[in-house]
Homo-oligomer: A and B are copies of this chain.
Amino acid sequence: MGEARLEGASQYLSDEQVRQGIEAMFFAYRGFTRDPDRILETMAYGRAHHRAIHFIARSPSTTVNNLLGILGVTKQSLNRVLRTLIADGLVESRVGESDKRERHLRLTEEGARLERQLSDAQRARMQEAYRAAGPEAVAGFRKVLEAMMEPDLRRKYVAIGEQDP
């Protein structure tokens, strides 16, 4: 002990605690992506395809530009993914009605089938972790994660959660 710069830090802010949190994030993220990754690697898809599929499912009729803001990649990178998904008939791209420059994206039936398969796998692990940790832990989990986001992404996160229910 005796770390001068941590003087005001109560116990839960100790260096060691924070370090363990960092490592927990690292290890947990691996578990988090593992099940969908395993499904995807049997096809010609990767995690980038999963992310696109997830957020198209979540916000049907979203535009490419909106998706770019959520995923935080370049349009070239997203376009490569979308191109294969469209070519394979999993995603449909429609020209916007009010603004015809925009492309509105939605899953086809086949795309929705894959989305369900992926999210079922990911949800199962999430639910098991939630069950094991208990409801209060889950509330805390969400609270810390939300505080960890960049402000602009936090806004998007909240907006997505509020839209369709």
Contact = CB atoms under 8 A, between A and B. Distances in A.
Nearest to A137: B140
Given A22-B123, A31-B149, A137 B143 contact: yes
Interface residues of A, number: 66
Contact of A146 (B16, B24, B126): B24
Contacts of A51: 26
B135 A10 contact: yes
Interface in A100-156: 119, 122-123, 125-150, 153-154, 156
A148 B148 CA distance: 18
8 tightest A-B CB contacts, nearest first: A140-B140, A137-B140, A129-B147, A28-B145, A141-B144, A24-B145, A137-B143, A132-B147
